[in-house]
């Protein structure tokens, strides 16, 4: 195995530090830190311009290096930054957002604010995704090892979910993954992804709700309650099994506060919210605007939103693909709020924005690369990037959530 000695110079998107070899090729090295001098085994050649490597020896360690809390760190693949002091993780996330906007979006000096820290850098996640093992137990998928590994600990996850993993025995064919969730009141739910297979007969001998994910993306409850309740900023939100919710309720509150800060609503605005989900943002936006139209494809999420927004009288909800609904809704927003999935918005949505040109846009992104791509499209449509606020919804991982504020020039 060929080895090289590198001084690492930066953090790339995906949570790997990078440096350049003697031929000026970029080498990506997981579980290292910018500034470190390391000996690296080269694992694969991806062409003339970059390699991937595995650290062999740390010759000069970073002052930001710390001891990971998890015994599985480095093998399970769920965390990427436990070896980095938490405050410095936030610095690297800000730098990655700026770099992606520069390189992919074409913004020379993107106005990226310091990353907002999660008040709970460990034990924050109320959700855990598992892969079944042949003995009926489950574990975490390891991208590096290309196998499922049993786990004894997971310090980023609520302890009750780890205990639940040991209590579940799911020994039947067709099971692809298990998503465990915990509600604010400590209630538990297991969502089973069976693909196209029929749901088996199940028995439980402790309090838990069980649902199956249907091929259309909705869910059917087999046992127990059809939803959990999460609390953000003192307000309850109904959450069906198939619906998205930030894994950290504390971080969800940061997202809400950031969105409202940039929205600066005066009570007279018309607001359009695309990919509105269960109404997490809608509930606070509706209190501050004249009218809000929400568009969401998942029927379970629309049903949840109707319950979560029951006290409002100025909200209209539309269920369907965003691209289809925009063709039928005659609504000119003063503020457009977009919270797309990781793949970003489609060309059809960007074309609609170019046709309507709302004065202001708030773009909530879970993927900085697609933010950069879509931001480039917004800039070409005449929008100025005012500011970007990263929010650390998933500490110890490379994942970054951002809210960017755009104004029509």
SS3 285: helix
Rounded CA-CA distance 399/207 in Å is: 32
Based on the fold, state whether residues 394 and 352 are members of the same structural domain: yes
Based on the fold, state whether residues 394 and 249 are members of the same structural domain: yes
Q: Is residue 87 part of a domain?
A: no
Q: Is residue 380 part of a domain?
A: yes
C-beta separation of 278 from 232 below 8 A: no
Based on the fold, state whether residues 275 and 323 are members of the same structural domain: yes
Based on the fold, state whether residues 346 and 304 are members of the same structural domain: yes
DSSP states along 202-267:
---SSS-EEEEE-TTS-EEEEES-S-EEEEETTEEEEE-TTS---S-HHHHHHHHHHHHHHH---S
What tens-digit pLDDT sequence spans the chain (409 residues)?
Answer: 788 999 999 999 999 999 998 888 899 999 999 999 999 998 866 656 778 899 999 999 999 999 999 999 998 889 999 999 999 999 999 999 999 999 999 999 999 999 999 999 999 999 999 998 888 888 888 887 888 888 889 999 999 999 998 888 888 878 899 999 999 999 999 999 988 878 778 888 889 999 999 888 889 999 999 999 999 999 999 999 999 999 999 999 999 999 999 999 999 999 999 999 999 999 999 999 999 999 999 999 999 999 999 999 999 999 999 999 999 998 999 999 999 999 999 999 999 999 999 999 999 999 999 999 999 999 999 999 999 999 999 999 999 999 999 999 9
CATH of residue 37: 2.40.50.140
User: Can you give the residue range of the structural domain that contains 313?
Assistant: 97-119+244-408
Based on the fold, state whether residues 203 and 273 are members of the same structural domain: no
Based on the fold, state whether residues 113 and 146 are members of the same structural domain: no
Q: Is residue 92 part of a domain?
A: no
Cα angle value 340/343/347 (rounded, 5°): 80
CATH of residue 361: 3.40.50.150
- Count how many domains the chain has: 3
Q: Is residue 269 part of a domain?
A: yes
C-beta separation of 34 from 62 below 8 A: yes
Encoded tokens for 329:
């809704």
Distances (CA, A) of 391 to 1, 63, 114, 265: 40, 24, 9, 21
Based on the fold, state whether residues 166 and 113 are members of the same structural domain: no
Q: Is residue 88 part of a domain?
A: no
Q: 22, 49, 65: which is the final residue of a domain?
A: 65
Based on the fold, state whether residues 250 and 381 are members of the same structural domain: yes
Rounded CA-CA distance 117/314 in Å is: 33
Q: 65, 81, 107: which is the final residue of a domain?
A: 65
Q: What is the pTM of this model?
A: 0.95
């Amino acid at each position: 195995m060929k080895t090289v000695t590198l001084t690492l110079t930066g953090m790339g998107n995906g949570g790997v530090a990078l440096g350049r070899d003697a031929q000026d090729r970029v080498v990506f090295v997981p579980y290292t830190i910018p500034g470190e001098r390391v000996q690296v085994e080269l694992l694969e050649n991806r062409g003339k311009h970059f390699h991937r490597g595995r650290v062999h020896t740390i010759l000069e360690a970073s002052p930001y290096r710390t001891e990971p809390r998890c015994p599985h760190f480095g093998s399970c693949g769920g965390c990427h930054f436990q070896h980095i002091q938490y405050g410095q993780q936030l610095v690297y996330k800000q730098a990655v957002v700026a770099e992606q906007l520069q390189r992919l979006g074409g913004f020379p000096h993107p106005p990226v604010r310091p990353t907002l820290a999660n008040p709970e850098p460990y034990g924050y996640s109320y959700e855990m995704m598992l892969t079944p093992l042949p003995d009926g137990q489950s574990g975490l998928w390891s991208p590096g090892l290309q196998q499922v590994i049993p786990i004894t600990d997971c310090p980023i996850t609520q302890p009750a979910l780890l205990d639940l993993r040991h209590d579940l025995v799911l020994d039947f064919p067709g099971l692809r993954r298990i998503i465990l969730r915990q509600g604010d009141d400590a209630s538990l739910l297991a969502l089973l992804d069976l693909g196209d297979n029929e749901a088996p007969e199940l028995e439980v001998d402790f309090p838990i709700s069980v649902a199956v994910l249907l091929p259309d993306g909705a869910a059917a409850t087999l046992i127990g309650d059809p939803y959990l309740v999460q609390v953000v900023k003192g307000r309850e939100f109904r959450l069906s099994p198939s619906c998205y919710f930030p894994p950290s309720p504390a971080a969800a509150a940061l997202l809400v506060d950031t969105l409202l800060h940039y929205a600066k609503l005066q009570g007279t605005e018309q607001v359009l919210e695309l990919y509105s989900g269960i109404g997490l943002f809608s509930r606070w936006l509706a209190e501050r605007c004249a009218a809000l139209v929400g568009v969401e494809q998942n029927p379970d999420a629309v049903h949840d939103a109707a319950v979560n927004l029951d006290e409002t009288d100025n909200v209209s909800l539309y269920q369907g693909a965003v691209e289809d609904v925009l063709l039928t809704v005659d609504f000119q927003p003063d503020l457009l709020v977009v919270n797309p999935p990781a793949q970003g918005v489609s060309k059809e949505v960007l074309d609609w924005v170019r046709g309507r040109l709302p004065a202001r846009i708030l773009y909530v992104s879970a993927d900085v690369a697609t933010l950069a791509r879509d931001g480039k499209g917004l800039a070409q449509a005449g929008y100025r990037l005012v500011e970007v606020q990263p929010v650390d919804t998933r500490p110890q991982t490379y994942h970054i959530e951002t809210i960017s504020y755009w104004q029509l020039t």
